[in-house]
Structure 1
Amino acid sequence: MSSHDARVLGRRIAVVRGARNLRQTDLARASFVSLSMIKAIEQGRRLPSDSTLEALAAALRVDPARLLDTHTGTETRVSAALPAISAGIATYDVPLALPRRPLDELRTAVVQMGRWRLDAQYGRIAAHAPDLLEDVLAAFHAAQDKRAAARLVVATARSADAVAFKYGARDLSARLVDLMRWAVPYAEDPLLTAAVAYVRTEVFFTARAHAAAIRVLEAAMDAAPAVRDESTAAARGALHMRAAVVAGRDSDADAAHSHLAHARRLSAWTREGIYSGTAFGPESVRVHELSVAIGLGQDHTAEALGVVQRWTPGETLPAERRSGFWIELARAQAWGGRFDDAFTSLKRARSIAPQHTREHSWAREAVGTLVRLRRTDDASLRSFASWIGAC
């Protein structure tokens, strides 16, 4: 890390600490880092180790890469956690342990993990997922009425799946989806069942089994409750959004735009928000307009670039979804020869959700294209390419 990086890091820590209304002594207490070390770091005189940086980031409730762009320590934590997650779900249908935490405490932890998922805080999920999976499964097996515990199992598995899927552990991701499908009937919640069908299509994306994905999504639409309020509209709307993306990947433009139209009409019933763990609303549909155009390929570059001429996502959308928008826009901009704009979009994606950007194959592809063409500032591009693993 250069002295310039150290100064930038120190300023960022100080700014975030101030925004959290924390004194340096408060940060020292919360992070278990000495006060003298924090003062030296904020003044740019000391370079923290990965473990110290991560301790400060955890105390400040931000991802470490929000403080230091080049931080890559998350991969170590995720790699260490994946085998533990795999072991924890190996016997999910066999009661092996007694509950260690009451249901209310588990619910609080599960909700927090869901927020980390939406904000693409994969390292924090990885650190807590093995124990939380064990605890919610124990609570499920011990419960007489399994509905509440089943919801916690589904939500925890979905957060763990986000880590497995993003970091390429596709077999583990598929097993976590199977765990969700096993648990969700016990929840007796048709909206949650629709959400699990939405998540299940990850398996088909990986296998490029687009026809199967559409069939599953259409079956889920048929089984979903009739639209009567925001929640029921969002359940169907999210399924149509996902079906639009699948159809786009399958080069079926008519089906993709038809599903988008359905999602757009359903979004008129809702405010932008999180419904059964999935973001849905007018802004989410607009993000998917770009996703569909990108999925249809380079012949639809003008359509993709047209989305950003009318709108860009606001701060109310989850970080993962906003980051994804800028990554997909960068791909379209690179296709259209707008190389400087593409690099700006990638940097914006990283500033929003660094872990999501670093693990996104399309972000790596777009950076690789820019590196080959050498059409932007070489030094900063090389640094970005090194961080994302594109060189």
Structure 2
Amino acid sequence: MQHPIDEHTGARIADYRKLRHLTQEALAQRAFLSRSCIAKVEKGLAPATPAVVAAVARVLQVDVAVLNGQPYTSQLRQDHLDRLIAPLSDALDLYDLGPDPDITPRPLAWIEPEVRRLCENTCATEYSGVGERLPGLLGELTTALSLLPAGEERRKAAALLAWCYWTAYEFAYRLGYHLLASIALERMGWTAEQAQDPLLLAVRLGRRSSMLLRRGDNRMALRILDRAHHLVGQHEEPGSVPALAVAGSLHLAAAIAAAQAKDADTVTGRMELARRSADGIGQDVPEVYWAGFGGTNVHHFDVATRVELGRLGEAVQSAKDLRFPAGHPRMRVGRYHIEMARAYTEMGKAEAAQRSLHLARTIAPQQARYHPLVRETIGALVRRRRRATESLSSLAAWVGL
């Protein structure tokens, strides 16, 4: 079932604003936004960006997912993804129940390649394949971990299980099941502790900061990221490629948090630290701790932070020199084109925005289909035109508008 074009995040913001007896001016003041921004978002003429949604959600005392209308159940049913949620939820509850008598775990050497493929599929935003294989692997590794004595094999099993929880977080979060994603993240912390891997714990804190950023809690997100850097410093080789990749990714996450808080000085500082990490590695390392870090990512986030700061012209200029190498994580490339579509829409460049949206759909279709900003951007483009083009109408129908 498709949703009417006027059922969008801005309309839901307006509904909750009226329920809270607030004017647009009052909401804007409390959310530290301009009244014109609130007015355009409520009318659906400007995309409801993550930073705007987080700011007004805090004032309106409502969850971000409610304002975004997530999860998108109609699209989940069409893609047969809705049936994967319950098995995943059940598998996440197994962590403290001990070994399952009906499961005989395979050797870890056999399981490890499957976990690696799961992480690869996650970075490629292939949610169907991830959701189908994940519950079984969670059950098998939970039993394996319960049966193994203390030692290297048990730590290895814990690390593999932690990465499965990481994929569970990504799967649930991207599809709009944020409570389930939070549970997966807690389980990841539990197993990362048993793996005794400070970099794995730091990666987990990086995702935790993303959850806080989604709620608009920039200050706490930065505190979490500082704690993650402390863990990187505990690694036995803090100057190694894995440590530099994780540290660099954390600096980029902090730059985005600072950009959403409109703190340009902190953005500059964090981006410089990320560049130093990239220079220390000397090349892109897309699969080291699945951080996907290197000079390409630093350039990408240079564009992204400029978009968040409202420096759209600078972002477009910087983007002209950005080239993604073959094999770069599709999750990152798709995200870049989504960000550019937003920037072009805010600049009034509808054709460029549509090109970016089509690229996002081509490169990472399931990511684009379930990304709130894609829906908001398409909706804003439709409402700004007297008559939508066939291409734009096709995009709107695809995301369920």
Q: TM-score over 0.5 for the alignment?
A: yes
AA matched with 2:307: I
| Residue 314 of structure 1, CA deviation | 2.9
Find 2:266's aligned residue among 255, 262, 265: 255
Written as runs of structure 1 = structure 2, the 5 A alignment for 1:296-311 is 296=309, 299-311=310-322
Written as runs of structure 1 = structure 2, the 5 A alignment for 1:8-87 is 76-87=79-90
> Does 2:204 correspond to 1:196?
yes
Per-residue CA distance 1:58-89 (angstroms, 9 max, x = gap): xxxxxxxxxxxxxx677543211111111111
Per-residue CA distance 1:140-173 (angstroms, 9 max, x = gap): 1111132101111111111111110011101000
Per-residue CA distance 1:249-308 (angstroms, 9 max, x = gap): 222221122111110111012221122121100001111112212222xx3212221221
| Residue 316 of structure 1, CA deviation | 2.8
Identify the residue that residue 50 of structure 2 maps to in structure 1. none
| Number of matched pairs | 318
Point out the more displaced range, 242-251 or 117-126. Answer: 242-251
Identify the residue that residue 142 of structure 2 maps to in structure 1. 137
Identify the residue that residue 93 of structure 1 maps to in structure 2. 96
Written as runs of structure 1 = structure 2, the 5 A alignment for 1:172-321 is 172-225=180-233, 227-270=238-281, 271-273=283-285, 274-296=287-309, 299-321=310-332
Per-residue CA distance 1:17-40 (angstroms, 9 max, x = gap): xxxxxxxxxxxxxxxxxxxxxxxx
Identify the residue that residue 354 of structure 2 maps to in structure 1. 343
| Residues 324, 192 of structure 1: alpha-carbon distance in 2 compared, 3 angstrom cutoff | same
Flag as ranges the 4+ runs of structure 1 deviating above 6 A: none
> SS at the partner of 1:330?
helix
| Residue 350 of structure 1, CA deviation | 0.7
Q: Once superposed, what is the RMSD of the aligned Cα atoms? A: 1.9
Contact 1:150-1:184 within 8 A present in 2 as well: yes
| Residues 372, 314 of structure 1: alpha-carbon distance in 2 compared, 3 angstrom cutoff | farther
Distance 1:148 1:227 in 2: 20
> SS at the partner of 2:292?
strand
AA matched with 2:167: S
Unpaired runs of at least 5, structure 1: 1-71
| Residues 345, 124 of structure 1: alpha-carbon distance in 2 compared, 3 angstrom cutoff | same
| Residue 230 of structure 1, CA deviation | 1.6
| Residues 375, 324 of structure 1: alpha-carbon distance in 2 compared, 3 angstrom cutoff | farther
| Residue 100 of structure 1, CA deviation | 3.0
Contact 2:185-2:208 within 8 A present in 1 as well: yes
> Does 2:130 correspond to 1:125?
yes
Distance 2:259 2:399 in 1: 27
AA matched with 2:221: A
| Residues 254, 102 of structure 1: alpha-carbon distance in 2 compared, 3 angstrom cutoff | same
Distance 1:290 1:364 in 2: 21
Contact 2:334-2:360 within 8 A present in 1 as well: yes
Distance 2:290 2:386 in 1: 40
> SS at the partner of 2:105?
coil
Distance 2:175 2:120 in 1: 19
AA matched with 1:121: E
Contact 1:370-1:376 within 8 A present in 2 as well: no
| Residues 100, 77 of structure 1: alpha-carbon distance in 2 compared, 3 angstrom cutoff | farther
| Residues 263, 86 of structure 1: alpha-carbon distance in 2 compared, 3 angstrom cutoff | same
AA matched with 1:353: A
AA matched with 1:384: L
Identify the residue that residue 368 of structure 2 maps to in structure 1. 357
* Alignment TM-score, normalising by the size of structure 2: 0.76
Find 2:378's aligned residue among 367, 370, 383: 367
> Does 2:333 correspond to 1:328?
no
Contact 2:202-2:229 within 8 A present in 1 as well: yes
Distance 1:164 1:100 in 2: 25
| Residues 165, 75 of structure 1: alpha-carbon distance in 2 compared, 3 angstrom cutoff | farther
Distance 2:314 2:97 in 1: 51
Distance 2:336 2:225 in 1: 23
Identify the residue that residue 103 of structure 1 maps to in structure 2. 108
Per-residue CA distance 1:341-371 (angstroms, 9 max, x = gap): 1100110111101000111111111111111
